[in-house]
């Protein structure tokens, strides 16, 4: 099927959302019992983590860890937000720089100012949106960022969205009295789909939409280690306890350009594969053998692919052994084959 399609369904009784583009699975949100990114707590400071530059906090969902916060004392209340999924046995990662994010607007209590996404290039549209932002945020010290989804949206919808996020931010930011509490739940898969997949698309909310549109077949592919790259080439993606290893292979292709072709195909598809599989942390890529002069071309292709990705990822660089290292945010739930 050509075009964009959003399927909203359930897997094992939990919400799930899939974005299909031209018949290929492009993005995936899965429901979980774990605290979702975006969840906001009133936490209580417990103790510092020496050498780590942070503090442990008590929350309704267990221990949390916040970095780069100075001047905190034990028993102090603090408003924090979940930034990603915790690794097994570790504290929930949170930040004290809370954001209130919706489809059109992000209200930023700690960063004043009125800003419009750089992706919106039309100056008239930018000016119009800034006027809406100034009106909706009049009298507030909070900042607001208008997202690229505002382009083409009804002005009234944008203004209402800003007002809703401002109201929520004002109610939550000062709510420091009391014991530990969940003040705002993180968005579930269906709400995330509405918030993040804003380009025009067909939407199927009926039960069984995953089966009708080939999502279940695509999920079966995610349970496999090997990813075909065209021709004889493939890459193997293997999560380990310490890191995610990616091994690029040329297969039976022994032509001089085989290594470069396989590596370019791998780095172009890798962000999508990591996104769908919910993999983050340290990523180490072992490219197929290729000349050192090809590294710049491979790196440029990888940077371009990461720029289009929705998950924050840092390209650390090349190692002395010729591997490529990435550091990727853990804001997705790792996909397991038994989830279906």
pLDDT tens digits, one per residue of 125-155 = 999 999 999 999 999 999 999 999 999 999 9
Q: Which of 82-91, 150-159, 160-169, 236-245 has the lowest mean pLDDT?
A: 82-91
Q: What's the rounded mean pLDDT across residues 218-236? A: 94
pLDDT mean across residues, the chain: 93
CATH superfamily for domain 40-98: Nucleic acid-binding proteins (2.40.50.140)
Q: What's the rounded mean pLDDT across residues 33-40? A: 94
Q: What's the rounded mean pLDDT across residues 12-33? A: 95
Cα 136 to Cα 107: distance, rounded to the nearest angstrom = 11
pLDDT (0 to 100) of residue 208: 95
Cα 285 to Cα 266: distance, rounded to the nearest angstrom = 10
pLDDT tens, residue by residue, 146-188: 999 999 999 999 999 999 999 999 999 989 999 999 999 999 9
Neighbour tally for 326: CB within 10 Å: 23
**Residue 246: pLDDT over 70:** yes
pLDDT tens, residue by residue, 257-279: 999 999 999 999 999 999 999 99
Answer yes or no: are the C-beta atoms of 41 and 182 closer than 8 Å: yes
Q: What's the rounded mean pLDDT across residues 231-237? A: 95
Sign of CA dihedral 47, 51, 53, 59: negative
pLDDT (0 to 100) of residue 54: 86
Confidence of residue 336 (pLDDT cuts 50, 70, 90): confident
Strands 92-95, 77-82: pairing kind: antiparallel
Q: Which of 151-155, 161-165, 251-255, 314-318 has the lowest mean pLDDT?
A: 251-255
Q: What's the rounded mean pLDDT across residues 28-33? A: 93
Task: List C-alpha distances in Å: 84 to 37, 186, 331, 333.
Answer: 5, 11, 4, 9
**Residue 68: pLDDT over 80:** no
Assign 3-class secondary structure to 253-310: CCCCCHHHHHHHHHHHHHHHHHHHHCCCEEEEEECCCCCHHHHHHHHHHHHHHHHCCC
Confidence of residue 340 (pLDDT cuts 50, 70, 90): low
pLDDT (0 to 100) of residue 73: 84
pLDDT (0 to 100) of residue 238: 96
Q: What's the rounded mean pLDDT across residues 72-97? A: 91
Q: Which of 16-20, 57-61, 80-84, 252-256 has the lowest mean pLDDT?
A: 252-256
The architecture of the domain spanning 225-339 is 3-Layer(aba) Sandwich (3.40)
Listed by start position, the domains of the chain span 4-31+193-212, 40-98, 100-176, 225-339
Residue among 226, 267, 229 at smallest CA distance from 250: 229
Confidence of residue 308 (pLDDT cuts 50, 70, 90): very high
pLDDT (0 to 100) of residue 339: 65
**Residue 214: pLDDT over 70:** yes
């Amino acid at each position: 099927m050509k075009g964009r399609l959003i399927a909203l369904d359930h897997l094992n009784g939990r919400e799930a959302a899939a974005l299909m583009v031209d018949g290929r699975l492009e993005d995936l949100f899965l429901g979980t019992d774990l605290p979702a990114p975006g969840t906001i707590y009133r936490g209580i400071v417990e103790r510092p983590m020496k050498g780590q530059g942070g503090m442990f906090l008590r929350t309704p969902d267990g221990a949390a860890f916040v970095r780069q916060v100075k001047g905190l004392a034990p028993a102090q209340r603090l408003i924090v937000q979940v930034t990603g999924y915790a690794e097994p046995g570790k504290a929930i990662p949170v930040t004290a720089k809370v954001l209130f994010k919706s489809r059109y607007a992000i209200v930023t209590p700690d960063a004043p100012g009125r800003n419009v996404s750089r992706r919106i290039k039309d100056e008239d549209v930018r000016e119009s949106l800034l006027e809406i932002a100034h009106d909706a945020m009049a009298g507030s010290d909070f900042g607001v960022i208008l997202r690229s989804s505002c382009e083409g949206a009804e002005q009234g919808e944008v203004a209402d969205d800003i007002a809703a996020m401002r109201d929520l931010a004002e109610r939550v930011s000062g709510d420091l009295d009391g014991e530990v509490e969940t003040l705002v739940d993180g968005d579930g898969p269906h709400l995330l789909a509405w918030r993040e997949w804003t380009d025009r698309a067909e939407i199927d909310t009926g039960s069984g939409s995953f089966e009708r549109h080939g999502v279940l077949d695509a999920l079966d592919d995610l349970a496999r280690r090997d990813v075909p790259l065209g021709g004889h080439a493939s890459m193997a993606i293997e999560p380990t306890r310490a890191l995610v290893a990616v091994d690029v292979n040329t297969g039976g292709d022994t032509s001089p350009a085989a290594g470069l072709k396989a590596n370019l195909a791998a780095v172009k598809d890798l962000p999508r594969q990591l996104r769908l599989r919910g993999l983050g942390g340290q990523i180490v890529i072992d490219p197929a053998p290729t000349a050192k002069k090809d590294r710049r071309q491979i790196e440029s292709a990888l940077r371009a692919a990461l720029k289009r990705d929705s998950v924050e990822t840092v390209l650390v660089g090349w190692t002395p052994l010729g591997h490529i290292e990435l550091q990727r945010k853990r804001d997705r739930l790792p996909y397991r084959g038994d989830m279906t």
